[in-house]
Amino acid sequence: MLKIIGLRKTFGDNEVLKGIDLEVNKGEIVVIVGPSGGGKTTLVRAINGLETCEEGKIVINKNTFCENGRYACKEVLKEIRKDIGLVFQGFNLFPHKSVLDNLIEAPIRVLKEDRELAIKKANDILEFLGLEDKSTSYPCELSGGQRQRVAIGRALALNPKIMCFDEPTSALDPSLTKDVANLIKSLGDEGMAILIITHDMDFAKLVSDKIVSMDNGKILNKHIYETSSS
């Protein structure tokens, strides 16, 4: 589903990604752990097209997203981006929109879905997330855990085949970590390929099929290991 080959990224004289090789298969949950400044967030941003890379290749659902700094044409990129979702560390919800409106915004504007269909799908997602009673609420009226689930729901509304999470538990009370882990695992059970970056090793062990250590712009292959959930 997601394949990264020899990915390199520099900011000025600072090489942030130094030849990254990584693969995430259908239904697999891969977690990248490592210290701040190791390149984890830059990698996720590159996978989602928010950063450009000078060298290497990113393949999403068998389609080449970019290769050696060259991206697919606009029409192809639009199709590829439908297959990948990103849940930001800070949730990035629209504060002036209700929960329901947060979920239907992208399907209507990006996928050009009919509004009634988008609303039906959004309500199904909210039921799946246990938030069916929060559709008319605004982000400021929700708990941290609820906002996290809405952010996940907004990404799910685009029907991605691959989901990336940037520090999904960093803004949550520790008591909610297991709930988020169970939700992410349920997505993997449905066949979604999932990539997570986190500092939380306990969460990583709880949710992952595979944990990968990353530092100084490199995947530390000797630290890759399968968890007991595999």
Query: What would you measure as the largest C-alpha separation in the chain, in angstroms?
Result: 51
Report pLDDT digits (tens) over 132-146.
999 999 999 998 888
- Cα separation of 140 and 137, whole Å? 8
In the sheet that holds 2-11, the strands lie side by side as 14-24, 2-11, 55-60, 63-67, 70-71
Q: Are residues 167 and 74 in the same domain?
A: yes
Token output for 139: 């982000």
- Statement to judge: residues 36 and 16 lie in one domain: yes
Q: What is the pTM of this model?
A: 0.84
Is residue 120 located within the same domain as residue 182?
no
Question: In this structure, are 135 and 166 located in the same domain?
Answer: no
Same domain, yes or no: 119 and 213 = no
Domain-located, residue 154: no
Percent of the chain exceeding pLDDT 90 equals 40
Q: Which of 42, 35, 47 is nearest to 10 (CA)?
A: 42
Counted domains in the chain: 2
pLDDT at residue 33 greater than cutoff 60: yes
Asked which of 101, 120, 147 is the last residue of a domain, the reply is 147
55 by DSSP, 3-state: which? strand
Q: Are residues 170 and 194 in the same domain?
A: yes
The average pLDDT across 101-121 equals: 91
In terms of residue numbers, what domain contains 193?
A: 2-83+160-226
The pLDDT tens digits for 202-230 are 888 889 999 999 999 998 854 455 554 44
Asked whether residue 153 is domain-assigned, the answer is: no
Domain holding 69: CATH number?
3.40.50.300
In a domain, 79, yes or no: yes
Residue 155, in any domain of the structure: no
Residue identified by tokens 């290749």 is: 57
The pairing of beta strand 2-11 with beta strand 14-24: antiparallel
CA distance 82 to 97: 22
71 within domain boundaries:
yes
- Distance of alpha carbon 124 from alpha carbon 135, whole angstroms: 11
